[in-house]
A = this chain, B = another copy of it.
Amino acid sequence: MQRQTPQRKAIEAAFHSAARPLSPQEILDAARKDVPALNLATVYRTLKRMVDDREIHPVELPGEAARYELQSAAEYHHHHFRCGKCRAVFDLKGCVNGLKKLLPSGFRMTGHDIILYGLCKTCRT
């Protein structure tokens, strides 16, 4: 049975207000507004529990540390956009056709990732 601690509440609050994938450090920074003494180790441990509880979902991008997002965002199939300037990651809607045609013969595909890179609306100006 898991407990209802101020730390976990603060971390959950960070996810709900961000609405985009967050790194452990971003979560720490945000959650410290509620619980200033919060420790990074606690963030890592809490993230692990939340993943086990299927409350959040890891988002892994090439060459970067894992981020996490609410399971509600992961419920539908989606991909990610990474801004080259502010470095933030955004959820994208939809998918594409024709991935199977990339497969060499004899290979079986069970999943895929698509990551788009560029500039977000804010950084584009």
Contacts and interface: CB of A to CB of B under 8 A. Distances in A.
- Interface range on chain A (Cβ under 8 Å from partner): 35 or more
Interface in A99-115: 99, 101-115
Contact of A107 (B61, B79, B81, B99): B81
A115 B116 contact: no
Nearest to A66: B63
Given A96-B102, A113-B113, 16 more contacts: A58-B63, A62-B113, A63-B66, A81-B104, A84-B110, A90-B107, A94-B102, A96-B96, A99-B114, A102-B114, A103-B118, A107-B124, A111-B116, A112-B115, A112-B117, A113-B117
9 contacts: A61-B62, A81-B104, A84-B110, A96-B97, A98-B98, A107-B120, A111-B117, A111-B118, A112-B114
